[in-house]
Structure 1
Amino acid sequence: MGTMTAPTRPQYEIRAQHTDTTVTVYQAYAPSIGLPAARDGRFPEVWKRDRMTWIKPSFLWMMYRCGWAVKEGQETVLAVEIVREGFDWALENAELSHYVRGVHPDRATWQHNLRRAPARVQWDPERDLRLDRLPYRSLQLGLSGEASRRYADEWTVSVRDVTPLARQIHQLVRDGRLDEAAALLPHESPYPLGGAPLPAAAA
């Protein structure tokens, strides 16, 4: 199965559904936010633009995080298409979400940079269709301040409700029909890392 066989994948790689101009990321919300966002193609006014928001290019990591759209407050899964220019800007201005010796000069410098950065990068184990860990990492990108506002009001091209797709794939997985489930997954291919910070200097 394609989602589980990738022995040569780099440990740190952004995989996303993307075009020449856009990249798709995923978020999950309560229906009170998710449904109006999908209906109007933009985030509603009640969406707090001064809070940190995490976007995920990996559909399966989103499924792991929201429990296939079952977890409370995460029942509506959104595919948010944003301009690559904005995504790249966030990566280039991001700091790692945790301190790494050898990457940062010292903990104080990292903390100072983290406070000032409009975005933060976190690398978590990628997931397969059963939501088990894979031996390589997936990007989570946290946006705050300027990045969060620009994401909601400038970078967003479209917002789609992909909850039905999540439920369809989940049912196939529960039925043991993994090949059929894999065929429905969004096609995610390597995306240029650009300025994304990596946890290891050797990476």
Structure 2
Amino acid sequence: MGLISGLKSSLQQVRESLFTEEEQKRIGIYGPPNAGKTTLANRIARDWTGDAVGPESHVPHETRRARRKENVEIERNGSSVNIDIVDTPGVTTKVDYEEFLDYEEFDQDEAVRRSREATEGVAEAMHWLREDVDGVIYVLDSTTDPFTQVNTMLIGIIESRDLPVLIFANKIDLDDASIKRIEDAFPQHETVPLSALEGDNMDEVYDKIAEYFG
């Protein structure tokens, strides 16, 4: 009798864990190269876990493989949201090895290798977007024109999957930043201004993450 009771108790615990434990939400950080995606991912990860996601660089396509930081718990207004952050490679229509030759630290062989890895990274980012993320943080450089083929395509894919999306207008610490330019390009989505590098307006960033992905 004791054995049967024990088995029933164990089965009940398994059922409760299956139906009460929420699956971790994967939030992809997307956008074009050098928009500040990794800087933002690191800012969020350091603020809430103390660890960075990956190296930052002024060189385009420094992130050439998706990197995931699990169990990032963001507490806002007495409640919390627990997410996995997926920092993805910058998406572009073409990766040219000559881009890397503009930097003295790369010879031709290294430039070719990086361009090949960056191209593979774009394909990986697209796979994550189509299959494996539950929401998107879309990062744009507010000093550049947001109305590009890549941005329009990616926002279209996000909308077709009916994913929750926040558009972050990054680099507002720079003199030629324009939040309105991004708002006008994608008026159907909320735009949140910030500087991931300087930490400007991060309170609103975290409020919105909790609101949209909680």
* Interval containing the TM-score (normalised by the shorter chain): under 0.3
Q: Could you state the TM-score of these two structures normalised by the residue count of structure 2?
A: 0.22
Look at both structures and tell me which one has the larger radius of gyration over its CA atoms.
2
Greater strand fraction, Structure 1 or Structure 2:
1
Higher relative contact order (CA 8 A, sep 6+): 1
> Greater helix percent: which structure?
2
